[in-house]
Amino acid sequence: MAEKADIGTLAAEERNAQAARKARLFCCGSTGCLSSGGGAIANALTEALAGHGLADAVDVVPTGCMGLCSLGPLVRVEVPGRDPVLYKEVDPMIARLIVAEHVVPAAGAGDEGFELPAFFTEHILPMDIPFFTKQTKVVLADSGRVNPERIEDYLAADGYQALQNVLANMTPQAVIELIADSGLRGRGGGGFPTGQKWGFARQAEPVNGEKFIICNGDEGDPGAYMDRSVLEGNPHAVLEGMLIAAYATGATEGWFYIRAEYPLAVDRVEKAIKQARRNGLVGKNILGSDLNVDCQIRLGAGAFVCGEETALIHSIEGQRGTPRPRPPYPSVQGLWDRPSVVNNVETLANVPAIIRNGPEWFHAMGTETSKGTKVFALTGKVEHSGLIEVPMGMHLREIVEDIGGGNPADKPLKAVQTGGPSGGVIPVDQLDVPVCYEQLTQLGSMMGSGGMIVMDADDSMVEIAKFYLGFAVDESCGKCAPCRIGGTQMLALLQKVTDGKATLDDLDLIRRLSRAMQQASLCGLGQTAPNPVISTLRYFEDEYMEAVIVYSDPSSQDWTPRGT
Amino acid sequence: MAEEAAAVHIGRIAKQWGKKRGSLIMMLHAIQDQRGYVPRDAALELARQVDVPLARIYEVLTFYNYFKTSSPGKAVVSVCTGTACHLKGAPDILAALGEELGVADGEASEDGNFHLQSVRCVGCCGLAPVVTVNATVYGKVKPAEMRGIIGQWQDRIDAGEL
Ligand SMILES: Cc1cc2nc3c(=O)[nH]c(=O)nc-3n(C[C@H](O)[C@H](O)[C@H](O)COP(=O)(O)O)c2cc1C
Ligand code: FES
């Protein structure tokens, strides 16, 4: 049995150890940066430090995503008493220079100060650019600061304090009320109030003494990687959120469902669970209380529909990942018919911070109906592409133009896509809307899980619609006819449009099919699959019409879809 | 001998997972991790050892497109066709690779060395467009670079490294 751990002592020891360092070097060890050579950089830094006799005095901390993925690998140098410096596009040579020309002199210099050599300029990323200053980090606060593979790092950053506080001082009902007061809503796309969901699960009677909490780490939206970055960058925060949810709802077991395509995330969550178990944070009598929760991981296997909660549950059970009608909702009848709370990764990662800082703190960020922050994967035609976190209510234009830095290609932007295959496009003249669940839905898109893709004049909206619909058709599980057949038929019609062979009747048919799919499909996949088509038709009908008009004019044969 | 080794391997997997709930997919992952795909003999052996009907195994195996039921070749070349990569030219990358390898999406080259496939978002969207070969990720790639990348892997195959 796990020894009763004193996490306070561990945290204090780690903080002291960190404070004693002459410098700390943080280098991004998430999949994106590792693939552009991040692993070699950590090695180069470590070797160079050893060469200068600083191996024990300076830490090299492999971290989760630091955000600005398009300029990675990134390295941040922190020397006590000096401003941190962020280096971009680092290679092993630059890493050695950073040690020799920055860390060594800075660590040795006294109060008289020291100057960075001029040749670094082009590799230093100013930290006062809007990409950094306009963000507010809650979920990502520790990503890029802690080593995700060491529980001590997380403890030193106040990790597991929220759990400790909850177990010692709060009733489960009080936790549910606190989360409800904070206004936290699900970050997996639907935006369901988390406190309310937990309340339903609390009321549900356990079956065979069991109730479950499930973390949805399936992240199906192609072109988005928020959840993966959170799992890779700060797995303990998600685990802590899960344990608090278990306490609040009375869950007896926790399940992580993670995409198999994310091996690094799986590995880090596995390590986090092991470390937490060793420290008495997972298992029996957690932190000496009577809370007993064990946690396990199950992998997805490349099916988008498994992000839908009932399909996900079938998949954990080892079945084909097909959805079933709701109600009954999983919080009443879920995994193996036990009451089960399904929460998104980012939702759970918010929980410890809300407990630590209080519901008012969280409630103060955002709009009337959408509180807190949202993480987005900002990609496409922007200068600064990466992982960002902004307060709800920030205008889309501010995100795209200030944080994203506009289009590097100097072409006019055309639209922003949110919500992935279930969402829609928002045209550039409507970007002055605050990011919140209701506003985005009203514009015919949705918050979704956080993909945000910027498109410019080169991108044909009909092609985009076809791209997303093609994805939904590929991923349809085939169980219900409106989705299976409707999707395929609609894709054929869109193909006619891009082939320049469509008529006005075809456009009409597309609209009718869309309505049928929305109304009659069994699950969210089919119900939302027409959204990209409907929204492009709504805002960019001219691009569809162009194809139709060209077809009705026999003199023009060589039509190809293009941006306008 | 190879068959015996396979049976032992599956025995280990069955021992680790067989009694746990919801473990069929995890066992199939374990087989694919080891062998690159889930061969029929392995599925049969698993069915025998954990007492699950073969039809149940194939029902699951064929639903999830992560699982392969035939050998994928020595170098699996995956082109990300997620949205970010699509917008930054993934179709051209796929076409260049198809030409270089002489295969279509989802096919293996004649010598069985390369397997070309399109995949959805590998999660490095900031580096779009992205290609992976086995576990190596190439970011911000251009169609003209494909020949060089394939050449590197061909060299490794020729040197017997794979
Ligand atoms: C087709 C489809 C795909 C989904 N994919 C995801 C996903 O990748 N991640 C996720 O958290 N939720 C996804 N959801 C939403 C889940 O069904 C569920 O609402 C969510 O995980 C609940 O967590 P939350 O309340 O914390 O948001 C998807 C829903 C549908 C209909
Ligand atoms: S879209 Fe290609 S890596 Fe995400």
pLDDT tens digits along A413-468: 999 999 999 999 999 999 999 999 999 999 999 999 999 999 999 999 999 999 99
Q: Are the beta carbons of A389 and A134 closer than 8 angstroms?
A: no
Q: In this predicted structure, what is the pLDDT of residue A5? A: 53
CATH no. for A158-362:
3.40.50.11540
The torsion defined by the Cα of A244, A247, A248 and A253, in degrees rounded to 10, comes to: 90
As a whole number of angstroms, the distance between CA A149 and CA A527 comes to 40
Our answer on whether the CB atom of A307 is closer than 6 Å to any ligand 1 atom is yes
Q: What is the DSSP letter of A222?
A: T
Q: Are the beta carbons of A144 and A337 closer than 8 angstroms?
A: no
Query: What whole-number percentage of chain B has pLDDT above 70?
Result: 99
CATH no. for A462-549:
1.20.1440.230
B25 lies in the same domain as B83:
no
Q: Is A321 on the interface with B (CB under 8 A)?
A: yes
pLDDT at B1 over 50: no
Q: Is A498 on the interface with B (CB under 8 A)?
A: no
Q: In this predicted structure, what is the pLDDT of residue A108? A: 79
Q: In this predicted structure, what is the pLDDT of residue A551? A: 67
B80 lies in the same domain as B39:
no
A195-248, pLDDT tens digit by residue?
999 999 999 999 999 999 999 999 988 888 999 999 999 999 999 999 999 999
pLDDT at A556 over 80: no
Chain A nearest C-alpha distance from B95 (Å): 17
B131 domain-assigned: yes
In this prediction, residues B74-79 reach a mean pLDDT of 94
Task: Give me the residue from A222, A319, A387 closest to B60, CB to CB.
Answer: A319
B86 lies in the same domain as B108:
yes
In this prediction, residues A267-283 reach a mean pLDDT of 97
B29 lies in the same domain as B100:
no
pLDDT at B116 over 60: yes
B86 lies in the same domain as B144:
yes
pLDDT band at A13 (very low <50, low <70, confident <90, very high): very high
As a whole number of angstroms, the distance between CA A321 and CA B91 comes to 29
B88 domain-assigned: yes
Overall residue count recorded for chain A in this entry: 564
Chain A nearest C-alpha distance from B1 (Å): 30
Q: In this predicted structure, what is the pLDDT of residue A547? A: 79
Indicate the residue among B63, B94, B116 that finishes a domain.
Answer: B63
Query: What tokens appear for A27 in the block?
Result: 């280098």
As a whole number of angstroms, the distance between CA A531 and CA A419 comes to 10
B99 lies in the same domain as B125:
yes
B28 lies in the same domain as B80:
no
In this prediction, residues B127-152 reach a mean pLDDT of 93
Please name every residue paired with B78 in a beta bridge, in sequence order, or none if there are none.
B117, B132
Inter-chain residue contact B84 with A318, CB threshold 8 Å: no
Burial A514-531 (b: 16+ CB within 10 A, else e): bebbbeebbbbbbbbbbb
Atom of ligand 1 nearest to the CA of A304: 3
B82 lies in the same domain as B153:
yes
Q: Is A445 on the interface with B (CB under 8 A)?
A: no
As a whole number of angstroms, the distance between CA B67 and CA B85 comes to 23
A333-370, pLDDT tens digit by residue?
999 999 999 999 999 999 999 999 999 999 999 999 99
Q: In this predicted structure, what is the pLDDT of residue A115? A: 84
B37 lies in the same domain as B109:
no
Q: Is B162 on the interface with A (CB under 8 A)?
A: no
Average pLDDT, chain A: 93
Q: Is B1 exposed, middle or buried (0-12, 13-18, 19+ CB in 10 A)?
A: exposed
Query: What tokens appear for A126 in the block?
Result: 């100013």
As a whole number of angstroms, the distance between CA A153 and CA A21 comes to 14
Task: List chain A domain ranges.
Answer: 16-127, 158-362, 373-459, 462-549
Report the number of distinct structural domains present in chain B.
Answer: 2
Task: Give me the residue from A301, A380, A468 closest to B67, CB to CB.
Answer: A301
pLDDT at A554 over 70: no
Q: Are the beta carbons of A119 and A100 closer than 8 angstroms?
A: no
Closest Cα in chain A to B141: A36
Looking at the CA of A197, which ligand is closest?
1
B120 lies in the same domain as B154:
yes
Query: What whole-number percentage of chain B has pLDDT above 90?
Result: 73
- Determine the distance from the C-alpha atom of residue A543 to the mean position of all C-alpha atoms in its chain, rounded to a whole number: 32
Q: Are the beta carbons of A318 and B23 closer than 8 angstroms?
A: yes
Task: Give me the residue from A260, A453, A471 closest to B66, CB to CB.
Answer: A260
Q: Checking DSSP bridges between strand A424-427 and strand A294-299, what pairing results, if any?
A: unpaired
| Number of CB atoms found within 10 A of residue A271's CB | 16
Closest Cα in chain A to B129: A380
B68 domain-assigned: no
B152 lies in the same domain as B102:
yes
B93 domain-assigned: yes
Our answer on whether the CB atom of A305 is closer than 6 Å to any ligand 1 atom is yes
Q: In this predicted structure, what is the pLDDT of residue B118? A: 93
pTM: 0.94
Q: In this predicted structure, what is the pLDDT of residue B143? A: 97
Q: Checking DSSP bridges between strand A75-78 and strand A23-28, what pairing results, if any?
A: antiparallel
| Number of CB atoms found within 10 A of residue A115's CB | 8
Closest Cα in chain B to A70: B126
Please name every residue paired with A207 in a beta bridge, in sequence order, or none if there are none.
A210
Looking at the CA of A262, which ligand is closest?
2
CA-based nearest residue to A164, from A84, A240, A62: A240
B48-63, pLDDT tens digit by residue?
999 999 999 999 999 9
What CATH number does the domain containing B111 carry? 3.40.30.10
Q: In this predicted structure, what is the pLDDT of residue B122? A: 84
CATH architecture of A373-459: Roll (3.10)
* Closest C-alpha to ligand 1, atom 20: A188
Chain B nearest C-alpha distance from A199 (Å): 27
As a whole number of angstroms, the distance between CA A254 and CA A214 comes to 6
A68-107, pLDDT tens digit by residue?
988 989 999 999 888 899 999 999 999 999 999 999 998 8
As a whole number of angstroms, the distance between CA A258 and CA A351 comes to 19
- Determine the distance from the C-alpha atom of residue A448 to the mean position of all C-alpha atoms in its chain, rounded to a whole number: 10
Give residue B54's domain range.
2-63
Closest Cα in chain B to A385: B126
Q: What residues of B are in contact with residue A319 (Cβ under 8 Å)?
A: 60
Please name every residue paired with A258 in a beta bridge, in sequence order, or none if there are none.
A217, A299
Q: Are the beta carbons of B25 and A299 closer than 8 angstroms?
A: yes
pLDDT at B7 over 90: no
B49 lies in the same domain as B81:
no
CATH class given for the domain over A16-127: alpha beta
Q: Is B47 on the interface with A (CB under 8 A)?
A: no
Q: Is A84 exposed, middle or buried (0-12, 13-18, 19+ CB in 10 A)?
A: exposed
Q: What residues of A are in contact with residue B59 (Cβ under 8 Å)?
A: 320
